[in-house]
Chain A
Amino acid sequence: MKNSSTVSKMHEVNPHIPKNFMVVLVIGFVLLIASVFLSLSLGSRMVGLQEVMDGLFRQDIDTYEANVVRKRISRTVFSLFCGAALGVSGALMQAVTRNPIADPSILGVNMGASLFVVCGMAFLNISSANQYIWLALAGAAITAVFVFGIGSLGRSGATPIKLVLAGAATTAALSSLVVAIMIPRSHVMDQFRFWQVGSVGSATWDGITTFIPFLLIGIVIAILSAPALNALALGDAIATGLGVRIGILRLVAALGAVLLCGAATALAGPIGFVGLLSTHVMRLVLGPDLRFVIPMSAISGAVILTISDVSGRLIGSPGELEVGVVTAFIGAPLLIILAMRSKVSSL
């Protein structure tokens, strides 16, 4: 009797769902819609709610404002997708390395993608998103394998601290290579400079269509591996005891992270810190359960990148400040706070 009452109580207030999950979900969607509206309406040309609605839903209206809104649609969609990809990619990398400060930019994956894109620009005369994406993915994947390989050397395997060190060293080496390739080639420099800062402004529907399959595959991988990653969070030994094939799990989850971040980097350039910001906000309000943190990081990543893009447009008006600069400004202080707070033992 006592037994069944405990069980039914567990169903009422389910302690296995973060207690404020519904609130966070609702707020997340509200912010998402708000950021879409802001992205469509704000910029060097301010547009009101009515014009946004006209631009979106009334094809017959052909005012200047309505056309401005229409021009901003692709940019908005892309920043949402790109932010979601970076958010989930960050969550995956943190889970795989069991390191709270992992992020595509910290593990060097971004820089690997950049190097390949630069090589493509310099040696193969590549200039379209559809071609960047494959180069960036290859670069991201090779760098991830390389960093993982270096980080796994030695007796204790791929520990979080070794992975981060390997990532930092690789980033340093690759970024000097990027500079070495660029400096003597002024035509590449111009093309690359804009890409390198990280921007969602140049998004095209073609680019977005190329991006979508990678986003979907990456997110499916992330959601399916979340329960196993939850087990991995308790340590390799516990995870093995729970029946997780930890080697395969790490590989698959890292692959998902590389797909997401490589594809986003190919189209937008290396945008840092979104993966870090979006996941930490979610962990703060939801706790560490990755079944909730991973999907919600997609939403928070989308909101953060879109709002950052809008801020960049406002700050840089009448021109604009690239979104990569904005995220770095918000993200760098956060990284410092996290690095100071994070227990050394957990590394």
Chain B
Amino acid sequence: MKPTHLFEAEQLVAGYDNKTVIQEVSLTIPSNKISVIIGANASGKSTLLKTLARLIKPTSGKINLDGKSITKMPPKQLARVLGLLPQSPIVPEGISVADLVGRGRFPHQSMLSGWTKKDYEAVAEAMRIMDITKLANQNIDELSGGQRQRVWIAMALAQQTDILFLDEPTTFLDITYQVEILDMLTDLNRKKGTTIVMVLHDINLSARYADNIFAIHNGKLVAEGEPSKVITSSLVKDVFGLDCIVVEDPISGSPSVVPIGRHHVNNAYTP
């Protein structure tokens, strides 16, 4: 099991150039759990994730890992604890699956040491977890979208971090692959205790797979906690501006949002 970490943000303000996107967000990531950041488009959810994962330097506020500021930690040392899969990574032309997954070992290698047994084992394990061992020698260009995403996650797994940030890992995937990826991430969390923090677009999948929800609206943290407590019709109205009812998902028992639009609405729910 992965060790417990205290990862907290305090009065975080961040953005791009002169535009402030994240406004005074304070939060603590529950260790060894799955947290999902939800919010409407342009709410700042992705910016928050990027700031927590040190891609964006905060304008003010603190991000501490086990009491130490992450900006003051040596980047390689931090990269052995904190992994990140951004939204649109670049695929070098002609790269093989094994080469790409292997690049996740960078923070564990020194400038002069070559590949050690540990590196090979970590890569083999990551590929096994994501079920891509058979694809090792294939080119990424030849893979389907779902397989590709599994390769990227395997790269992040090869990094063997205790905490893993993922920015919309299921976007552009068919529903089948979305569920597959989320199941695999849940396996990872349950078996290894990896703390997972991700941005997801789909509120129902978020409610089902998250242990903890952070709801972002206009750059502010408006709600956090277990999905069953956080996902309510009033929160969905506040955060997404959507009228809805929340029912119990018959499969998982988690809350499930059923939107109320302008058409196809029974009289009982007409606002």
Where the two chains meet, the residues of A that have a C-beta atom closer than 8 Å to any C-beta of B are 3, 6-7, 10-11, 14-16, 19, 98, 100, 155, 224, 227-228, 230-231, 233-235, 237-238, 240-245, 283, 287-289, 343, 346
Contact = CB atoms under 8 A, between A and B. Distances in A.
Nearest to B90: A235
Given A234-B103, A242-B79, A227 B16 contact: no
A241 B83 contact: yes
Contacts of A287: 94-96, 99
B96 to A, nearest CB: 6
B222 to A, nearest CB: 27
A164 to B, nearest CB: 16
Contact of B107 (A243, A343, A346): A243
A16 B119 CA distance: 11
Contact of A6 (B54, B93, B133, B165): B133
B192 interface: no
B103 A242 contact: yes
Contacts of B121: 7
Given A224-B111, A238-B86, A240-B55, A231 B103 contact: yes
A230 B106 contact: yes
Contacts of A343: 93
Contact of B55 (A6, A19, A237, A244): A237
A301 B106 CA distance: 28
A7 B120 contact: yes
Q: Which 9 A-B pairs have the closest CB atoms?
A: A243-B79, A241-B84, A15-B98, A237-B86, A243-B76, A288-B92, A243-B75, A235-B90, A243-B107
Given A230-B103, A241-B83, A242-B79, 15 more contacts: A233-B92, A234-B89, A234-B92, A235-B88, A238-B155, A241-B84, A242-B103, A243-B75, A243-B79, A245-B75, A283-B94, A287-B95, A287-B96, A288-B95, A343-B93
A237 B83 CA distance: 11
A16 B111 contact: no
Contacts of B120: 7, 10-11, 14, 16
A16 B93 contact: no
A98 B77 contact: no
A240 B93 contact: no
Given A11-B120, A241-B83, A235 B99 contact: no
B41 interface: no
Interface string B215-229: 000000000000000
Interface string B141-178: 00000000000000110010000010000000000000
Nearest to B125: A3
Interface in B108-151: 109, 111-112, 115, 120-121, 123-125, 128, 133, 136-137
B78 interface: yes
B100 A242 contact: no
Interface residues of B, number: 53
B136 A234 contact: no
Nearest to B92: A288
A241 B86 contact: yes
12 contacts: A3-B128, A10-B136, A16-B115, A19-B137, A224-B112, A234-B89, A238-B89, A238-B90, A241-B83, A241-B84, A283-B93, A288-B92
B76 A155 contact: no
A240 B156 CA distance: 12
Given A10-B124, A244-B75, A234 B90 contact: yes
A242 B85 CA distance: 10
B106 A228 contact: yes
Contacts of A242: 79, 103-104, 106-107, 159
Contacts of A100: 93
A7 B124 contact: yes
Contacts of A19: 137
